[in-house]
Amino acid sequence: MFGCCRATKRLPWGSLLQKFVFQARPLSGADAATALRPFYFAVHPDFFGQHPVEREVNENSLKRLNGYLENLQKPGQKSHKPAQLTFYVRETNTINDSDTIRTTGFRTVHFTLDTRDLLSTVLDILNSCSLSTAHVNTAEVGMESKPHKGTKAAFDRPIKWDKTYYSFTGFKDPEEELEQAQKVETTIIPWLENNQSLANKKLTKSFPLREELEQLKNELADQLQLSDIRWQRSWGVAHRCSQLHSLSRLIQQNPETLKMAKGRTLLFTEETGMSASGHVMLGTMDVHHQWAKLFERLPSYTYLERKLLHLQERISHLLGGIEIVHIEEQQPLLTIEEYYRMLETFYNKLLNNRMPIHPRSLRCLKMILQSDRFAPRLHEMGHYIIPTLCDPASLQWFLLAHTQQARDNLKRKEELTFVEQELTTVCKDRSSLSRLYKEPSISCVQMIDCCKRMGTCVFPGTLKGTYRVKHSLACLKSMNINHVPLPPHGGDQDKILLQTE
């Protein structure tokens, strides 16, 4: 009799029960985020720093994907629109069975999501990107941090970069972003009450570095007679100081060569060269020799800039006098060579398909060119966004059909800019801030809405410091505090947050 009991005991009841319970329980948002970690690691925009077009495509697709996942989790949500997504997926491999991971390139993946539950969605995403679904199918989702005894984890070696990697490169830590995204959203007043003392400590601690950075920046700008010194990414104050010290040492070695940058803007970024806007780009991962070679070549860029300007004028003449502009805040960072090739391709296409547009019918209007768009559109601020491969006939119809709307939007832009400046000043003075500004991706409408909501809040004491309004969550070591969420009214709008520096 007891032998029978012993035989029964050997059956894997725990594993069967675990599997049954997991299958019976619907996938939660946290489970889905955990299951999609390999996907996020493969498409995260911060790993595409040297590929601005692919980076922007992934950023936009991730926003749409997050909105799709949020809609699936809403109670009572029965219908939704299918989501057509495009991602550039990184190809990586491990070197010599060590923990060193090397990126070997990336591939394009297109897929459409039309699922009704999170589990199906997660599986569709992973399968579409040719990523493993073993950790989902074996009921490891949501249990990765506490595996059962005797159960092998889905990943023998979790993919995790050392924190110093993100600190040095300025990239965002996907693990930290994931943790922050899973936290329950809070309101601005309790958040400030809980973090104000910590913010003041960080601010006080960062004062010496800030003063050193400002002093270095002013000295180098005066020494080279630069228009400005800027940074493309949100590197910490310590790393900015280090970059300026490197530039200072280069000046000591090549004083005459660096004077060729007179009157220009110096931009610390991920690539060395000349930007489409005429800024001198210094790659933070490059050595002094590469920087010095760039400064030596600056006179040759003057000729290319003249050719670029002449090409823009010829395009403008073919398109009724519209002005061809490059808006840094809304376009990927391009070298001047890349931008010239883009304009040349567009010009040759227009030249082969002459369009009957009155020479001055589009004067005072503006347009920008983008290589990753497939259809023209009109920006809310009044400028046209035109793909380089746009069909000339379709382009002609679109430009002329939206002329009045473009002029109305430009006029509205002037009004909104004035209102934005007024509200920003009021909020800054009311909250005793030393500075309040926005990141480039924040529109006038969003900034105005944010300032209005800030005006309805009664802040505890004096905030002080410098605040920046932006979309995403982050925390920089040399800044006061993280971001203060300002949830917009309307639910489905993008969240606008307030970051202090």
Top mean-pLDDT range of 28-32, 93-97, 187-191, 360-364: 360-364
Sequence ranges of the domains in the chain: 25-169, 191-205+409-500, 303-390
pLDDT for position 4: 46
According to DSSP, the residues that pair with 323 across neighbouring strands are 366
Overall average pLDDT of the 131-139 stretch:
71
DSSP conformational letter for 135: H
Residue type for 64, please? R
User: If you search the block for the tokens 């610390």, which residue do you land on?
Assistant: 268
Which helix (H) or strand (E) segment holds residue 295: the answer is: helix 288-318
CA 48, CA 62: separation in Å to the nearest integer?
A: 14
Helices 288-318 and 336-351: crossing angle in degrees, nearest 10, is 20
pLDDT for position 168: 62
According to DSSP, the residues that pair with 484 across neighbouring strands are 498
Q: Are 206 and 237 in contact (CB under 8 A)?
A: yes
Q: Are 299 and 259 in contact (CB under 8 A)?
A: no
Q: Which of 3-17, 260-274, 336-350 has the weakest average pLDDT? A: 3-17
Q: Give the closest residue to 475 by CA, choosing from 204, 254, 163, 210.
A: 163
Does residue 10 carry a pLDDT above 60?
no
Q: Which of 95-99, 173-177, 205-209, 213-217 has the weakest average pLDDT? A: 95-99
For 475, other C-beta atoms within 10 Å of its C-beta total: 14
Provide the pLDDT confidence category of residue 8 given band limits of 50, 70 and 90.
very low
Top mean-pLDDT range of 11-15, 78-82, 313-317, 447-451: 313-317
* Better-scored residue on pLDDT, 379 or 191: 379
pTM, 2 dp:
0.58
pLDDT in tens, 278-308: 999 999 888 788 999 999 999 999 999 999 9
pLDDT in tens, 263-275: 999 999 988 999 9
CA 246, CA 407: separation in Å to the nearest integer?
A: 47
Q: Which of 169-178, 234-243, 273-282 has the weakest average pLDDT? A: 169-178
pLDDT for position 285: 83
Q: Which of 205-214, 398-407, 446-455 has the weakest average pLDDT? A: 446-455
CA 474, CA 303: separation in Å to the nearest integer?
A: 41
CA 305, CA 94: separation in Å to the nearest integer?
A: 43
Does residue 122 carry a pLDDT above 80?
yes
Overall average pLDDT of the 190-218 stretch:
80
